[in-house]
Amino acid sequence: MDLGLDGRTVIVTGASGGIGREVARGFAAEGADVVLTYRSSPEEAGQVAKEIGEHALVVPYELGDLDSARAVVSAALDWTGRIDVLVNNALFTWGWEPGESFDKVEEDAWREMVRRNVEGYLELSRLVTPGMRERRFGRLVHISSGLVDEGMAGAEYYTTAKAAVHGFSRSAAFSLGRDGDILSNVVLPGLTATARNEERIEPFSQRYINLSAVGRLLDAREVANAVVYLGSAANTGITGQTISVTGGV
């Protein structure tokens, strides 16, 4: 299938590792020019860019910082003159410990988590949308978490931020779709195996494997495949949706 990504410009936030890395690789494999953003891992982002070659641009990005978001968009436009796809994948979790009782989390910590994760996604979406409207083409893909549906003690503020993005994407789809072939969707991964998280997720893995229809955890590349399709020109009618990519959990 021709995904119609050759020559398109894609921004992938949080592209230095995990799902973001595989998303960047996936778009590049389809001929797209990929802007890879990172927060604290320039070496890893540089390695991904080296693998991709001349079709990659590495840019630092601080989620929830408007000036940083503007710099990413400016860098992309200076590079290719266009932005066709935005994948909001970056995540801010500093100051939060999984399992911590929500009423005991420090005020500054939970407020910053919610603010950055919500505002960061909305800021970049707002910045890329005018160009998409002008060209009458664009794709927004927001990476969320299966915890929004499943729930987990200690993840209250994380899931609050992610759920807010669901609401934005759903309504934005109706606004954007009236101005061209512009689509907005949310991808909802479950517990996903990545090169970074193997040890951290091990205590939870078997529970998810037992619940999975395919009897295993999905890996980052499998989630990325769905993201790339939703962000492609081959997707002409899926918008305003939340797509679970969980192996059937």
pLDDT at residue 155, rounded to an integer:
85
Residue 38 designated active-site: no
pLDDT at residue 209, rounded to an integer:
81
pLDDT at residue 97, rounded to an integer:
63
Average pLDDT over residues 93-122: 85
Contact 44, 20 (CB under 8 A): no
The single residue of 68, 125, 157, 162 carrying the catalytic annotation is 162
Among 3, 14, 9, 1, smallest CA distance to 143 is for 14
pTM summary value: 0.94
Average pLDDT over residues 142-170: 92
Average pLDDT over residues 95-116: 83
The first and second tokens of residue 106, run together, are: 């420090």
- Of 14 and 99, more confident: 14
Residue 144 designated active-site: no
Among 135, 128, 21, smallest CA distance to 76 is for 128
The single residue of 16, 68, 144, 145 carrying the catalytic annotation is 145
The single residue of 157, 158, 208, 229 carrying the catalytic annotation is 158
Residue 50 designated active-site: no
